[in-house]
Structures are given as structure tokens and as C-alpha cells.
Amino acid sequence: MSEESVLEKLRAGARKFQAEVYAKNAEHYQRAASTPQAPHTLIISCADSRVDVEAITSSGPGQVFVTRNVGNMAPPYSGTPGGVTAVIEYAVAALKVKHVVVCGHSDCGAMKALLHPPATDNLPTVRYWLHHGQAALMVAESMAHKDEPQIDKLKRLTEENVLMQLVHLKTHPSVAGAMARGELTMSGWVYDIGSGVVRIAEEGHRDFIPVTVGAGAKA
């Protein structure tokens, strides 16, 4: 697809949005435009184009504050300003979200690259960024069974990486403070692209429990 035709495709998408989605919910969008945003949740997800966090949480405008990066990393607080750190601080200290989600997913290229470092030989920035998953890799490797299939290794690392990013999150002063005051909770998610199923590990738990349709609402 040529560059121009991609832009044309994007224009067509913007037209379709205006004509269909916006037109149907115009009042909602107009209200959102004149009301300060008050999202209830910060979601840190992978940048993977198949992970549509608004869709998988059935969220509309104003409900979730989202940051996406390669491998859904939440770097530990270091005092050095960074994009993800700024998002976390703004979401927690200014917007006062009530919950933080770290959302990993199946078939994650970042997790595969952690398991197979040569994949980032020509991607020095990606390789550097992935060091935020190094501790998770070490944990996952220490837990692996002998002759574990690659697919199981990938699943384990994906989960351990989500859990490790939750640990990192707690090093951020805004997060630590809000949690200590009982104003903030967090959970780790793994989204399965093929089945649409989200599995959630609640704060303090290591098991990822599938959210099943018809299982009833849990507040």
C-alpha cells in the first residue's frame, strides 16, 4: 500500500467516524468536550496494534486513561523524567484514577524478543527499552520446567512481565501514596487476541483468572 493510499484510508476512517460513530453519540461527545475528564482507570498496555483496550473494556470517551508502549512496561521510578512516568503521575496525582491496569497480551513481539535477543540486533532502542522486562525474564526462566515448549515459556514470561510491572508501579511516589491512603488499586491483565478472553490477576495474586461471559458481575 503506498503512503498516499494509507493516508486516504485514514481519511476515510475519519469520515466514517464523523458520519457514524460521532453522529450517533454527538450529545455525549459534546458533553465530554465541556466537562473535565475524570477517567476511573489508567491502563498501561502494549503498543501492539491488535490490543484495543477501549474495545476490550467496552469503554467510551473519558473512561480510561491509556498509555501504550512496547511490552506494556512501567519503568521503576528513578527520578529521571520519562513519558510513562509522567503519564502515571498525571493519572494518579492529578486525575485521581481509582485503578491501574497493566495489560499484556498473547503473541507479544516484545516478550518474544526478550526470549530471543537476536531479534533486536538492529533495534538498539527497542533492546534498551526491553531491559525493563529483564527481571521478569529472570523470574520466568527460574520457574521454567525442563524442556518447556516455547509457547509455554512465552505465556509464563508474559504473565511474569505484567506482575513485575505492577511491582515497578509501586515505586512511583504518586502510586505508593495513593495505595497507602486506600485510594488506588491495581491489577494485571493478559488479553488473548485469538479468543478475546481477558485474564486478570488481582493485586497481591499471581493467578490470572479468566473473565468469562455469564459469570456474573463482580463490582
Q: Catalytic: 105?
A: yes
Among the listed residues 46, 97, 166, 200, the single contact to Zn ion using CB under 5 A: 46
Kindly give the interhelix angle for 134-143 and 150-169, rounded to the nearest 10 degrees. Answer: 130
Please report how close the Cβ of residue 50 comes to Zn ion at its closest, in angstroms: 9
State the sign of the Cα–Cα–Cα–Cα dihedral 219, 191, 22, 62: positive
Tell me how far apart the alpha carbons of residues 79 and 173 are, in angstroms, rounded to a whole number: 10
Q: Catalytic: 131?
A: no
Please identify, using beta-carbon distances, which residue of 92 and 102 lies nearer to Zn ion. 102
Q: Catalytic: 103?
A: no
Which x/- pattern, by CB under 5 A, does the window 47-76 give for Zn ion? -x----------------------------
Choosing from 103, 105, 132, 168, which is the catalytic residue? Answer: 105
Residues 73-112 that bind Zn ion (CB under 5 A): 108, 110
Residue 182 neighbours by CB distance under 10 Å: 7
Q: DSSP class of residue 185? A: E
Closest CA to 190 of 98, 74, 67, 108: 108
Which x/- pattern, by CB under 5 A, does the window 2-41 give for Zn ion? ----------------------------------------
Tell me how far apart the alpha carbons of residues 130 and 212 are, in angstroms, rounded to a whole number: 32
Please identify, using beta-carbon distances, which residue of 46 and 136 lies nearer to Zn ion. 46
Closest CA to 154 of 208, 209, 104, 107: 107
Please identify, using beta-carbon distances, which residue of 12 and 123 lies nearer to Zn ion. 123
Which chain residues interact with Zn ion by CB under 5 A?
46, 48, 108, 110
Which residues make up each annotated binding site?
Answer: 46, 48, 105, 108
